[in-house]
Amino acid sequence: MSDAARKVILGTMLLATLALAACDREERDYRPDPAAERGKGAIVVSGGLYAGPSSPPSDDAYPEYTENAYHVAEGKRLFQWFNCVGCHSNGGGGMGPPLMDDQWIYGNAPANIYATITEGRPNGMPSFRQKIPEPQVWQLVAYVRSMSGLVRKDVAPGRNDDMNARPAEQSVSPLLQPPPPGAVPAPGDQPPASTGTR
């Protein structure tokens, strides 16, 4: 091809490379607007202090948290910092129920998990309202969902440098598939009989 045509093509390729290098993989929001956070998270109280049917699941998926690798990774850090591991271990449970299985007493929708963390639950789950700022609660919500395999693989937080107490969040273990419809009870249903993890 002609000299001029070659220069144009090479110049365009160079400009395209420079432009693409500026693309971020995802947005990292370090300062979620506190006023905007206030309206989120349907705080649904189950009524009464007994374990019962899950809170009504909400349709909101909160993708800015549950589909953002940075927020899931921050949730992983906070899970350690705020001593969630003290009762839940690294998802396997102990004093608290396991978080990496598909049994959810109060529902696995982000708003349900948000309500669990913020309000506390009977039999030992403390309430963290006003102790953990709302955006950080959402980060924890996103991480808890990742432990159960409910986030996309490319969004999972980085693997631990130290020994992993459970399968990595990016793993495709069959135990971590999203629960089939019916595993999470709709409001008004009887809770399913406990069958252990699949």
Partner 1 sequence: MTGGSQSALDPAGPFAGHILELFWLFTIVCAVVWLAVVAVLLAAIGRRRWAGDALPDPRPAPEAERRLGRVVGAAVALTVVILFGFLIASYLTDRQLLAGQQGETRTIHLTAHQWWWEISYEDGNPSRRVTTANELHLPVGEKIHIRLSSTDVIHSFWVPNLHGKQDLIPGVENHIYLQADEPGVWRGQCAEFCGFQHAHMALHVVVEDKDAFERWKAAQLQPAPEPAGDLEKRGRDVFLSGPCVMCHRISGTEAGATAGPDLTHLRSRGTIAAGTLPNTREHLAAWIADPQAIKPGNRMPLTRLEPGDLEALLAYLETLR
Footprint (CB under 8 A) of partner 1, residues 94-113: none
- Of 46 and 90, the one with the shorter C-beta distance to partner 1 is 90
- CA distance linking residue 156 with residue 153, whole number of Å: 5
Segment contacting partner 1 by CB under 8 A, of 46-54, 111-119, 126-134, 151-159: 126-134
Position 131 contacts partner 1 (CB under 8 A): yes
Binding residues for partner 1, rule CB under 8 A, total 16
Rounded CA gap, 105 and 44, in Å? Answer: 14
> Which of 42, 87, 125, 132 touches partner 1 by CB under 8 A?
132
Residue 175 binding partner 1, by CB under 8 A:
no
Helix (H), strand (E), coil (C) string for 93-147: CCCCCCCCCCCCCCCCCHHHHHHHHHHCECCCECCCCCCCCHHHHHHHHHHHHHH
Q: Contact 79/146 with Cβ under 8 angstroms?
A: no
26 touches partner 1 (CB under 8 A): no
From the list 30-38, 90-98, 168-176, 182-190, the region that binds partner 1 by CB under 8 A is: 30-38
Closest CA to 140 of 41, 24, 58: 41
Residues of the shown chain interacting with partner 1 in the complex, contacts defined by CB under 8 A: 28, 30-32, 34, 77, 81-82, 130-133, 135-136, 161-162
